Amino acid sequence: MARVTVEDCVLKIPNRFQLVMMAAQRSRELSVGGELTVDRDNDKNPVVALREIADETVPLDELEIAVVEGLQRNIDVDEIVEEEDDDMLQVTEALNELAGLVDTGEAPAAGSPDAPTTETPAADASDPMAALAAGFEDVTIEDVKKED
């Protein structure tokens, strides 16, 4: 890249950071098939972009808008929170449904067989799933060594 090209560009765009950003944007446009406004002369895209900026053959205001749009991220925070709330509600409902805790709107009578109890059901020795439903027991190191 010739120093003369950069010095010519600094006259058009005094801020070197902005110059680099705009030249990079134009270089990306050229690499995806953008039309050249100057002869390539066997130069690479960044050099061609700088030459176009120096010769003012590309509209600098449009290039600046493209840089800004490329850096913007349009995220609506309220929408994300609402989506998370909806997702959380769906997960909670699914878990309640799986656990059999779906609210039917009516509470069963206190003495009825459908009434929830605070006691854990006694595990039937013949049914391994009933033992799992009753809960887990804490095991000590000695218990594990005995089983080995």
State pLDDT tens for residues 40-56.
Answer: 888 999 999 999 999 99
Q: Are 121 and 130 in contact (CB under 8 A)?
A: yes
User: Where exactly are the structural domains of the chain?
Assistant: 3-71
Q: What is the pLDDT of residue 132?
A: 63
End-to-end CA distance of the chain: 74
* Confidence at residue 75, expressed as pLDDT on a 0 to 100 scale: 65
Topology (CATH level 3) of domain 3-71: Eukaryotic RPB6 RNA polymerase subunit (3.90.940)
3-state helix vs strand vs coil in the chain, percent to 5: 60, 0, 40
Q: How far is residue 48's CA from residue 40's CA, in Å, rounded to a whole number? A: 6
Q: Which residues contact 66 (CB under 8 A, 6 or more apart)?
A: 25, 29
- Output the pTM of the full model: 0.48
pLDDT at 28 over 90: yes
Q: What is the pLDDT of residues 83-127, one digit of tens each?
A: 777 788 888 888 888 877 655 555 555 556 655 555 555 555 566
Other residues' Cβ atoms within 10 Å of the Cβ of residue 8? 16
Q: How many CB atoms lie within 10 A of CB 109?
A: 9
Residue with tokens 């009434």: 115
